[in-house]
Structure 1
Amino acid sequence: MRTTVIGVMGPGNGAREIDRHVAKELGSAIASQGWILLTGGRNTGVMEAASQGAKQAGGLTIGILPTATDEGMSEAVDIAIFTDLGSARNNINVLSSHAIVACGMGAGTASEVALALKAKKPVILLNCDRTTQAFFENLSSDNLWIAETVEEAIAILQNALIKG
């Protein structure tokens, strides 16, 4: 059985400070579980913060980059996958992960959450407002959880992965 890969998705340039703070804590918690962190690999927003958190906790990080080169790549990415696919890489992010945690929300993150729900992957919304939560709950309440804290997200992941 392959090692558990947890995808952390969230805004890049549009990330709020709280999104970056929570993502860094989440990356660290994922690494502490012995799971591999997967992000979009860029050196901005949630991707950068989660990767930094995982690296600081001694974890392994994968970055699925939208480009063909390492320009703009996070220095905290251990394994870089260069796709040259732009936003089309979002499906690779989802299908390569056992579960997805959306930390904050933007258009790219929304597409990843929708793809994950369609693929029947466990999805956790963390640090997302009530309007966003309601939207995704209306799409599919199966495999969708809402977490208020990183600790709650980790507990949900542990449960979802056991059932999966």
Structure 2
Amino acid sequence: MSDDGQPAPGHGYRKGPVLLRGEQIPATTSDQRLLSRTDPSSWLHDDPWRVMRIQSEFVEGFGALAEIGPAVSVFGSARTPADDPVYEVAVEVGRLLVEAGYGVITGGGPGIMEAANRGAKKAGGLSVGLGIELPFEQGMNEYVDLGVNFRYFFARKTMFVKYSEGFVVLPGGFGTLDELFEALTLVQTHKVIEFPIVLVGRDYWQGLVDWISGPVLSRGMISAADVELLQIVDTAEEAVQIVRERGAELRAEEEAAVRAAAADRAAAEDSSR
């Protein structure tokens, strides 16, 4: 199965470095066991060891991804079949991102994830998949060149954010919405740089944006500037263009900040002489 329960027979179930199939597949995930409190005293024995396992996930993820260079995360449904027009849009997104100088990061599964990895791989770029342990069979799609499997969602989410310079979001379900709002919240609260967040498919996303810019904004739950964090387009070309333009702006801002810091240091040295 994929990471949202779609059939993907024969791939097996990844539990860290271990591959399980058939009756060996557990009924619960590491996340479920971590968050369960059925035995009020079990954490005294189990949780300290889980901390070591969690630490190892971060170490392995950072080590595997540290040198991938500029990259963009592409989110979307695992349920999208290859004959769906949205699948082709995702392939084009992956291809154009590579041509723009970016690697492509997905959840490594089927559907939109597979499509974006496929486009990146066929364009000769870096195709990354960040998989997740779930209580049904799953596996990396065949277009992933660099794959990392995680036990814990929070460790996986950290990797998406840490190694991405933008987020392109195609139609998807709860998992996609979770990833979208995670990125949106981090940008809104300035926990990360204001990377672009682009929604592809106006017919799919417009209702969500209307709700955000309507009741959510009018009742003071967000500010008007927050609405501008989301941009909707209909084509892969438009999505990648936004990512490229925002990337150029961020690089220019960083270079200006470096020059300003150097000027301040030089001025301080001159005044101390």
**2:77 corresponds to:** 11
Mapping of residues 146-161 of structure 1, within 5 Å: 146-161=232-247
| Alignment of 1:123 onto 2:189 | no
CA distance in 2, matches of 1:87, 1:107: 16
More helix by share: 2
SS in 1 for 2:245: helix
SS in 2 for 1:156: helix
Are 2:205 and 2:232, in contact at CA under 8 Å, matched by a contact in 1? Answer: no
Are 1:5 and 1:99, in contact at CA under 8 Å, matched by a contact in 2? Answer: yes
Q: Which runs of 5+ in 1 are unaligned?
A: none
CA distance in 1, matches of 2:144, 2:68: 19
How high is the TM-score relative to the length of structure 2?
0.54
Larger radius of gyration between Structure 1 and Structure 2: 2
Residue 87 of structure 1 and its aligned partner are, at CA, apart by: 7.7
| Residues 46/142 of structure 1: CA separation in 2 closer, same or farther (3 Å cut) | same
Partner residue of 1:24 out of 79, 91, 113: 91
Aligned-residue CA RMSD in angstroms? 2.4
**1:81 corresponds to:** 148
Partner residue of 2:114 out of 16, 40, 48: 48
CA distance in 2, matches of 1:129, 1:82: 29
Residue 2 of structure 1 and its aligned partner are, at CA, apart by: 7.1
Residue 134 of structure 1 and its aligned partner are, at CA, apart by: 2.6
CA distance in 1, matches of 2:212, 2:157: 17
Amino acid at match of 1:84: R
CA distance in 2, matches of 1:101, 1:76: 18
SS in 2 for 1:65: strand
Amino acid at match of 1:110: L
Task: Show CA shifts across 1:63-93 (max 9, x none).
Answer: 111139x952111111111111258734432
Amino acid at match of 1:66: I
CA distance in 2, matches of 1:131, 1:50: 24
Residue 111 of structure 1 and its aligned partner are, at CA, apart by: 0.8
Percent identity reads: 30
How high is the TM-score relative to the length of structure 1?
0.86
Partner residue of 1:144 out of 230, 236, 251: 230
**2:59 corresponds to:** none
CA distance in 2, matches of 1:151, 1:3: 22
Mapping of residues 100-119 of structure 1, within 5 Å: 100-119=167-186
Amino acid at match of 1:57: A
CA distance in 2, matches of 1:129, 1:162: 26
CA distance in 1, matches of 2:183, 2:146: 22
More strand by share: 1
SS in 2 for 1:75: coil
Amino acid at match of 1:56: K
CA distance in 1, matches of 2:166, 2:211: 19
SS in 1 for 2:142: coil
Q: Which runs of 5+ in 2 are unaligned?
A: 1-66, 188-194, 217-221, 251-273
